[in-house]
Amino acid sequence: MPLLALLVLILAAAACGTAPPGPPGSSETSGPSGPPAYVPPPKPPPTLPPPPPPLAPGKRDHEKLRVPHSASGRYTVVRGEAPARPGRGKVIRYLVEVEDGLPFDPRSFADEVHRTLNDIRGWGRFRRVDRPPVRLRVALSSPRLTDRECKPLRTGGELSCWNGRRSIINALRWAKGVRQYGDDLDAYRHYVISHEVGHGLGHRHRPCPGPGRLAPVMTQQSKSLGRCRPNPWPFPHRRPGDDRP
Which band of pLDDT confidence, cut at 50, 70 and 90, is reported for residue 39? low
- Say if residues 83 and 118 touch (Cβ distance below 8 Å): no
What are the angstrom distances between the C-alpha of 175 and each of 11, 63, 157, 230? 94, 8, 13, 18
* Per-residue pLDDT, 217: 98
Model confidence at 79: pLDDT above 60:
yes
Task: Round the average pLDDT of the chain to a whole number and report it.
Answer: 82
* Per-residue pLDDT, 244: 61
- Say if residues 182 and 201 touch (Cβ distance below 8 Å): no
Question: Which residue in 83, 75, 88 sits closest to 138, CA to CA?
Answer: 75
Q: Is residue 215 helix, strand or coil?
A: coil
Which band of pLDDT confidence, cut at 50, 70 and 90, is reported for residue 43? low
- Say if residues 98 and 139 touch (Cβ distance below 8 Å): yes
Element containing residue 47 per DSSP (H, E): none
Residues 197-238 pLDDT 10s: 999 999 999 999 999 999 999 999 999 999 999 999 999 999
Q: Is the pTM of this model over 0.85?
A: no
d(CA 88, CA 72): 40
> Phi first, then psi: what are they for 137, rounded to 5°?
-125, 145
Element containing residue 138 per DSSP (H, E): strand 136-141
Residues 137-183 pLDDT 10s: 999 999 999 999 999 999 999 999 999 999 999 999 999 999 999 99
